[in-house]
């Protein structure tokens, strides 16, 4: 949209011009429309003070026509900058399939005291009965033009698809679009988003790189021979580092599209669905599909048909079968939500559930499940203005002297950190707008360590209290036993905290050595000593992780589970916040990394989920 306002000369009537150009007809370029409207305005005493331009937009509806929406909004405003709307002709106003829709928008403008003038039409601004009839016929003809053009294009597309030429742009994983001339001589491969430049050129589909084709064959083997689910295939491929569009792992939707695409057996298929005049997408009977054998099959046809047999049941859901599957899932899990439904193989996707019941909540009501209450809007059950958020941040800073994500999460007079970031851009920007100091990441870490030291929590490492004296004594023992101390030795000896812990406590490992009264060594001396140990075979290197073990895993599973039970017994429930605040447990993020999810850790510890909101877990209640 492009709006331009200007002052009018004496006696001239203020006018706004509306310009629309659709890509199928360049005769109506915005420059041509501007010149024609300017000539009309000059001869009839109008001065154009505003321009509303929808370039490359279809006139079938208001969808995507932001400038026309803005024009109607400005026309109905109490104060406006123009008194007349100039349009080249009826078709520029729109090719609505219902001519009354175009008349309705014009009526709204006239009711607000604005005239809509079609500069290139013979009736101009006339409102006589005969003019109304002609204008209505023009609107019907404009809509009929779009219907005829749609029919012609659909026929042409089917004819070209029957000759083996691709109709469309993006393809599924494993295939490419090849640009060819009229004689099918190859010219170049098209990348995503690229289109042909010449009308005589055509596009055909060819198999992609061999490694991608092998992935497609692997998907069919896993799905048909090994009978894995689509979700299991996606997880396995992601674990193996297979990448798809945008260098992202292959999604479940992409794998499903591969399994159902006839390109995998070398056959191009067109006209499976129809989408005419911005209407609903409708399925076409298979007898009307257009097929073309483009290249040899990538996977065996028999294997492809078996895959269709497995996919077919998922397309036969009705209300009764969906309700039965949701009841079974509710019985197994005890709750329902969109993520759980999407991840469960024997339940249709959330979109299918919503399509049959109207919404997920209607489906929940059908199976007798009452989901936890959700805030109707905003955060914490209320709407937060920027002013209220900034005032709350200032209050929180005054009380504590600093601000962290955890303080915001536990604060009753502030929304969540995510809410603040979504509405103000970032937490740093919010603090800056509130006039509070914005610290760097290093400054935040140092301040956090200082607070932990002041509270005594920093003295504890894996359940053992390490005072400064104990840490320095441990360094002296290492120096006496090995004749030196290094970061790798501190990390790997198994008797002391890591070198990172020493750096947090003393500033650096070198500073800790100084406080321990150990002899100072230059960088050259350290390098020569390390080279000598390497030559003698006594150098302690960083140890690799065992197969399948997360890196730098310092906690034993049984210790974490025991401490979770202890925490649940003491606090009567377990939450992420309580885990983070417990000095004997690692952070909630570490627990998730260790067990895969908090839910799995709770299950292994024998904890159960409590009813109500927010979500909490604890020890089973004894009746």
Model confidence over 553-572: pLDDT tens digits? Answer: 456 777 888 889 999 998 88
**CA-atom Rg of the chain in angstroms:** 35
Q: What is the Cα–Cα distance from 400 to 394, expressed in whole angstroms?
A: 10
Q: What is the Cα–Cα distance from 408 to 228, expressed in whole angstroms?
A: 44
Predicted confidence band of residue 549 (pLDDT cuts 50, 70, 90)? very low
Quick: pLDDT tens for 347-371.
888 888 888 888 888 899 899 998 8
Residues contacting 161, CB < 8 A, separation 6+ = 167, 268, 270, 271, 290, 292
Q: What is the Cα–Cα distance from 79 to 512, expressed in whole angstroms?
A: 73
Q: Across residues 115-136, what is the average pLDDT?
A: 82
For the ranges 396-400, 453-457, 610-614, the maximum mean pLDDT occurs at 396-400
Q: What is the Cα–Cα distance from 551 to 556, expressed in whole angstroms?
A: 13
pLDDT exceeds cutoff 50 at 607: yes
- 267 forms beta bridges with 293
Q: Across residues 117-128, what is the average pLDDT?
A: 79
Structural contact between residues 606 and 432, judged by C-beta atoms closer than 8 angstroms: no
Q: What is the Cα–Cα distance from 344 to 322, expressed in whole angstroms?
A: 13
From 282, 25, 55, 65, select the one nearest 146 (Cα to Cα). Answer: 25
pLDDT exceeds cutoff 50 at 5: no
For 465, the enclosing helix (H) or strand (E) is strand 464-465
Q: Which fold has domain 175-313?
A: Hect, E3 ligase catalytic domain fold (3.90.1750)
- 464 forms beta bridges with 461
DSSP state of 587: -
Predicted confidence band of residue 87 (pLDDT cuts 50, 70, 90)? very high
Say which residue the tokens 């800073």 belong to.
397
Q: Across residues 34-42, what is the average pLDDT?
A: 91
Structural contact between residues 179 and 143, judged by C-beta atoms closer than 8 angstroms: no
- Note the CATH number of domain 13-146: 3.40.50.1390
Q: What is the Cα–Cα distance from 265 to 174, expressed in whole angstroms?
A: 12
Query: Looking at beta carbons, which pairs linking 257-260 to residues 24 or more positions away fall under 8 Å?
Result: 257/172, 257/173, 258/172, 258/173, 258/174, 258/216, 258/219, 259/219, 259/220, 259/223, 259/230, 259/307, 259/311, 260/307, 260/308, 260/311
> What pLDDT does residue 84 have?
93
For 109, the enclosing helix (H) or strand (E) is helix 99-111
Structural contact between residues 348 and 317, judged by C-beta atoms closer than 8 angstroms: yes
Q: Across residues 47-66, what is the average pLDDT?
A: 86
Query: Looking at beta carbons, which pairs linking 300-308 to residues 24 or more positions away fall under 8 Å?
Result: 301/265, 303/220, 303/221, 303/224, 304/220, 304/262, 304/264, 304/265, 306/224, 307/220, 307/223, 307/224, 307/259, 307/260, 308/260
Average predicted confidence (pLDDT) for the chain: 81
Q: What is the Cα–Cα distance from 353 to 338, expressed in whole angstroms?
A: 10
Predicted confidence band of residue 612 (pLDDT cuts 50, 70, 90)? low
Write down the domain spans for the chain.
Answer: 13-146, 175-313, 317-367, 459-536, 557-618
DSSP-assigned states of every residue in 293-354: E-S--SS-HHHHHHHHHHHGGGG---HHHHHHHHHHHHHHHS---HHHHHH-TTS--HHHHH
Dihedrals φ, ψ of 167, to 5°? -115, 100
This prediction has a pTM of 0.46
DSSP alpha helix (H) spans, 112-163: 129-162
> What pLDDT does residue 552 have?
43
> What pLDDT does residue 3 have?
42
Q: What is the Cα–Cα distance from 113 to 82, expressed in whole angstroms?
A: 10
> What pLDDT does residue 453 have?
65
Percent share of the chain, pLDDT over 70: 87
Q: What is the Cα–Cα distance from 261 to 202, expressed in whole angstroms?
A: 22
Least confident of 158-167, 226-235, 606-615: 606-615
Quick: pLDDT tens for 186-229.
888 888 778 887 778 889 899 999 999 999 999 999 999 988 88
Structural contact between residues 348 and 325, judged by C-beta atoms closer than 8 angstroms: yes
Q: Across residues 152-165, what is the average pLDDT?
A: 86
Q: How far apart are the first and last CA of the chain?
A: 67
Predicted confidence band of residue 464 (pLDDT cuts 50, 70, 90)? low
């Amino acid at each position: 949209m492009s709006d331009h306002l200007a002052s009018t000369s004496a006696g001239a009537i203020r006018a706004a011009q509306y310009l629309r150009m659709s890509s199928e007809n360049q005769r109506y370029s915005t420059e041509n429309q501007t010149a024609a409207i300017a000539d009309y305005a000059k001869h009839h005493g109008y001065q154009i003070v505003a321009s509303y331009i929808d370039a490359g937009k279809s006139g079938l509806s208001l969808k995507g026509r932001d400038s026309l929406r803005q024009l109607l909004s400005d026309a109905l405003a109490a104060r406006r900058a123009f008194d007349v709307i100039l349009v080249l002709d009826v078709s520029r106003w729109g090719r609505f399939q219902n001519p009354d829709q175009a008349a309705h928008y014009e009526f709204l403008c006239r009711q607000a005291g604005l005239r809509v003038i079609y500069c290139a039409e013979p009736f101009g601004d006339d409102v006589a009965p005969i003019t109304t009839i002609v204008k209505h016929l023009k609107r019907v003809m404009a809509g009929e033009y779009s219907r005829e053009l749609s029919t012609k294009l659909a026929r042409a597309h089917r004819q070209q698809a029957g000759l083996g030429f691709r109709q469309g742009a993006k393809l599924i994983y494993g295939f490419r679009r090849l640009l060819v001339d009229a004689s099918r001589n190859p010219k170049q491969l098209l990348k995503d988003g690229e289109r042909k430049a010449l009308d005589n050129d055509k596009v055909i589909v060819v198999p992609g790189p061999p490694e991608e084709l092998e992935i497609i064959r692997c998907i069919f083997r896993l799905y048909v021979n090994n009978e894995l689910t689509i979700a299991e295939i996606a997880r396995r491929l992601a674990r193996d580092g297979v990448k798809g569009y945008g260098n992202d792992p292959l999604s479940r939707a992409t794998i499903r599209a591969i399994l159902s695409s006839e390109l995998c057996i070398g056959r191009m298929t067109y006209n499976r669905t129809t989408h005419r005049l911005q209407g609903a997408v409708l399925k076409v009977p298979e007898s009307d599909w257009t097929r073309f054998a483009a290249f040899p099959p990538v996977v065996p046809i028999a294997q492809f048909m078996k895959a269709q047999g497995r996919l077919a049941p998922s397309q036969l859901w009705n209300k009764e079968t969906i309700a039965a599957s949701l009841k079974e899932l509710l019985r197994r899990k005890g709750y329902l939500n969109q993520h759980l439904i999407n991840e469960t193989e024997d339940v249709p996707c959330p979109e299918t559930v919503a399509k049959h019941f109207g919404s997920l909540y209607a489906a929940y009501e059908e199976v007798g499940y009452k989901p936890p209450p959700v805030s109707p809007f905003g955060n914490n059950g209320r709407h937060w203005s920027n002013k209220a958020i900034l005032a709350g941040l200032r209050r929180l800073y005054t009380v504590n002297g600093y601000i962290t994500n955890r303080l915001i999460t536990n604060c009753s007079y502030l929304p969540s950190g995510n809410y603040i970031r979504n509405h103000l851009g970032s937490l740093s920007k919010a603090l800056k707008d509130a006039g509070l100091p914005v610290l760097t990441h290093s400054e935040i870490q140092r301040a956090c360590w200082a607070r932990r030291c002041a509270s005594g929590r920093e003295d504890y490492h894996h359940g053992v209290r390490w005072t400064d004296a104990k840490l320095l004594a441990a360094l002296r023992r290492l120096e006496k036993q090995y004749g030196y101390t290094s970061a790798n030795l501190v990390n790997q000896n198994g008797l002391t905290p890591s070198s990172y812990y020493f750096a947090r406590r003393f500033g650096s490992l070198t500073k800790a050595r100084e406080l321990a009264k150990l002899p100072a060594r230059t960088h050259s001396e350290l390098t020569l000593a390390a080279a000598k140990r390497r030559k003698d075979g006594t150098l302690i290197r960083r140890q690799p992780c065992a197969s399948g073990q997360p890196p730098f895993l310092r906690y034993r599973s049984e210790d974490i589970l025991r401490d979770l039970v202890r925490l649940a017994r003491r606090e009567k429930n377990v939450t992420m916040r309580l885990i983070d605040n417990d000095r004997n447990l690692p952070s909630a993020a570490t627990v998730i990394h260790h067990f895969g999810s908090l839910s799995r850790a709770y299950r292994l510890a024998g904890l159960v989920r409590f009813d109500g909101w927010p979500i909490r877990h604890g020890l089973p209640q004894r009746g």
